[in-house]
Amino acid sequence: MSGLTDIDRALLLRAISLADNCPPSTTAFAVGALIAMADGRVLGEGWSRKSDPHVHAEEAALADVADPSLLAEATIYSSLEPCSTRASRPVSCTQHILIAGIPRIVYAWREPSLFVDCIGDELLRAAGRDVIFVPELTEAAREPNLHLFGYQ
């Protein structure tokens, strides 16, 4: 498993900031995601509800990638652990990542069981993916979602 680099930290912070673009919702998290190469070149970015009310950030980032052949060497950065179960669609973000062949996942916040029980981290690791959870950035990722927990 590779360690967290300065580029990783900067890109994860950028993914977290993308969550600020999310249309408000009381039934879904505000999440930002981006996909990048090891040198920091961003291939795609997205956020929850970017193109429709049910799109997740990882889906939007994948849809933004112009050259999917690069995904086999890319990292996806997400403010929230990729979902393993969805109420709105049959394919989870964990499944999308596995299908796309992305080998490395970096995220800031374990998904709380507010809407569904999530085991995205475990499923990705079990599939042999390099998963890096960055708990010191959890509070920043949680910030645009405080209203879901009765704050703000």
The sheet that has 32-36: what strands, in order across it?
42-47, 32-36, 75-78, 104-107, 130-133
When the pLDDT of each residue in the chain is averaged and rounded to a whole number, the result is 92
Residue 115 or 105, more confident: 105
Show the domain range for 44: 1-64+92-112+131-152
pLDDT of residue 110: 87
Amino acid at 88: S
- pTM of the full predicted structure? 0.94
Is 85 contained in some domain? no
As a whole number, mean pLDDT of residues 115-140 equals 91
Residue 12 has pLDDT above 50, yes or no: yes
Active site residues: 58
Is 125 contained in some domain? no
Confidence category of residue 56, pLDDT binned at 50, 70, 90: very high
We report the CATH number of the domain holding residue 58 as 3.40.140
Contact yes or no for 14/34 (Cβ under 8 A): yes
> What count of other Cβ atoms lies within 10 Å of the Cβ of residue 86?
19
pLDDT of residue 115: 64
Domain count, the chain: 1
Is 82 contained in some domain? no
